[in-house]
Amino acid sequence: MGNTIQNVLSEYWGYESFRPFQEEAISSILDSKDTLTVLPTGGGKSICFQVPALICEGMAVIVSPLISLMKDQVDYLKEIGIAAECLNSSLSSDDKAGVMHRIKSGNLKLLYLAPERLSSESMREFLRGVKLSFFVIDEAHCISHWGHDFREDYRGLGIIKDEFEGVCVHAFTATATSQVQEDIIKQLKLESPHFYIGSVDRPNLTYRALRRSGNLIPYIVDVIKKRPDEAGIVYCLRRVDVDKISEKLNSLGYQNLPYHAGMPNEIRKRNQDAFSAEKVSLIVATIAFGMGIDRSNIRYIIHAAMPKSIEHYQQETGRAGRDGLPADCYMLYSGSDYRTWEYLLGYSTQGKVTRDKLTAMYNFCGRLGCRHRYLVNYFNQAYQNEDCKACDYCLGEFEELSEPLIIAQNILSCVKQVREKFGASHVVDILKGNLTYNIERWKHERLPAFSSLQSETKVFIRNMVEQLLEQGFLDRELEFKTLFITDSGHKVFSGDIVPKLAKPITIQKKKEVEKKRKVRRDVDWEGIDEELLQILRAKRRQLAEEKNVPAYIIFGDKTLKDMARVKPVSEDGFSTIFGVGEAKLIQYGEIFTKIIRKYLESEPVGEGVVELKSR
Report d(CA 76, CA 38) in Å as an integer.
22
Interatomic CA distance for residues 372 and 287, integer angstroms = 22
Is 80 exceeded by the pLDDT of residue 5? yes
Higher pLDDT, 154 or 32: 32
pLDDT at 573: 95
What is the mean predicted confidence (pLDDT) over 178-204?
91
Helix H, strand E, coil C: the string for 337-397 is HHHHHHHHHCCCCCHHHHHHHHHHHHHHHHCCCCHHHHHHHHCCCCCCCCCCCCECCCCCC
Cβ-proximal residues to 190 (8 Å cutoff; 6+ apart), any chain = 34, 35, 36, 161, 169, 171, 184
Mean pLDDT for the chain overall: 89
Contact yes or no for 185/193 (Cβ under 8 A): yes
d(CA 113, CA 106): 17
Q: Can you list the domains of the chain with their CATH numbers?
A: 2-197 (3.40.50.300), 205-395 (3.40.50.300), 400-503 (1.10.10.10), 530-600 (1.10.150.80)
**Angle, CA of 141, 143 and 144, to the nearest 5°:** 75
CA of residue 514 relative to chain centroid, distance = 25
Per DSSP, what are the bridge partners of residue 113?
Answer: 63, 87
pLDDT at residue 517 greater than cutoff 50? yes
Rounded to whole angstroms, how far apart are CA atoms 606 and 609? 6
Per-residue pLDDT at 578 exceeds 70: yes
Predicted confidence band of residue 613 (pLDDT cuts 50, 70, 90): very low
pLDDT grade for 43, boundaries at 50, 70 and 90: confident
Q: Hey, what's the torsion of the CAs at 511, 517, 523, 527, to 10 degrees?
A: -90
Q: Is the dihedral of CA 417, 423, 426, 431 positive or negative?
A: positive
Model pLDDT, residue 380:
85
pLDDT category, 614, cuts 50, 70, 90?
very low
pLDDT above 80 (res 574): yes
In contact, 533 and 522? CB cutoff 8 Å:
no
What global pTM score does this model have? 0.78
Percentage of the chain with pLDDT > 70?
92
Q: Is the pLDDT of residue 152 over 90?
A: no
The pLDDT value recorded for residue 607 is 43
